[in-house]
Structure 1
């Protein structure tokens, strides 16, 4: 399954290890070889790797939502629930849940700017640090409750529960 566009992919694909719909490369667990619920993203032009890591490590802004409002107009009572505030990621302004609707055969990576980086929680982001000529690779876990581990020396990713079962 592609965790970017929610397309169910067959085991054998003409696109290789990428989604047949949006061409998002799939990231597999190094232990179980199952697709992991992560989406790779790239930085907007002008954002350095150092700045991106600093923005990710910052605490995201506090979630401040206004409470429900009840209006009473005689015989009609209305309850209005407010949605997430403008500074939080929701389905409408989250670039990771929006599908790739441009079509075509070329992969269009998720491009993230400073405002999105500051709203991401550091536990949702994995950074593969490859060094000077290659730079960093960034991934966001779209299922924060799914435990994923990144090895700091070889940059292999795996489900944390598989690592504890196999290597203890």
Structure 2
């Protein structure tokens, strides 16, 4: 049961990202980067179980539903999940600022990596602004998503998974 909630919430986020929202061209990367951020957050939360393979498969589903290059978001989700797992020691219910810093750095790195990867894929320099803007918006939305996922996880599993230092 501890895998069902993270998997279903990321799947719901993928399906929401696949809807035709009519966003401007500069905002096309916001929703997929929020999905990647949700993968990062679930991998950080002690006790939550989102296997890397599942994160990659959900990223692949995001690739298929968004019409992008196959494997692009799967790779991003895998990298974010791995970094999230490594940052698990920084997690705390009371102080999320270290994780916000980690996510902001990771989102920036993913934006640069994604821009370079897309440029390589299309054999030309693609516009960097949409993915940079998506990374910026995801960094701004991180505290809201983090608190929401903690609330969702706490309601589903009421036991206390964090102590004052953030170690499970």
TM-score (norm 1): 0.23
More helix by share: 2
Larger-Rg structure: 1
More strand by share: 1
